[in-house]
């Protein structure tokens, strides 16, 4: 089975690429100008949203921090996926 027929593999590779890229970028940023250390934060930054239905309580929260390294890692993972 080819990897291109599996969208789950693509999602996994992009997530791993984002994590690895962000890790490498956090190691490199002390040596770069401060402008490159910025990241974009999207999500529920104040507190998670809680939905209490009496029987079941749902707590939802998601914070996504994207920096240049994570974006480079995602693009690299996508290019590797296309080569497979």
Q: For 20-56, what is each residue's pLDDT tens digit?
A: 998 998 898 888 888 777 887 777 667 778 888 889 9
| Angular region, 40: left φ>0, alpha ψ -120 to 50, beta rest | beta
Tell me the whole-structure pTM to 2 decimals. Answer: 0.71
* Cα–Cα distance measured from residue 81 to residue 2, given in angstroms and rounded to the nearest whole number: 11
Please, what is the average pLDDT of the chain? Answer: 84
pLDDT of residue 13: 92
* Cα–Cα distance measured from residue 53 to residue 45, given in angstroms and rounded to the nearest whole number: 23
SS3 6: coil
CB 21, CB 80: distance < 8 Å: no
* Cα–Cα distance measured from residue 47 to residue 39, given in angstroms and rounded to the nearest whole number: 20
């Amino acid at each position: 089975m080819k990897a291109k027929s599996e969208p789950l593999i693509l999602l996994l590779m992009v997530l791993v690429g984002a994590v690895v890229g962000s890790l490498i970028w956090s190691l490199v940023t002390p040596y770069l100008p401060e402008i490159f250390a910025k990241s974009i934060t999207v999500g529920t930054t104040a507190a998670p949203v809680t939905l209490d239905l009496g029987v079941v309580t749902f707590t939802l929260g998601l914070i996504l921090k994207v920096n240049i390294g994570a974006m480079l890692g995602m693009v690299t993972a996508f290019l590797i996926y296309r080569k497979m």
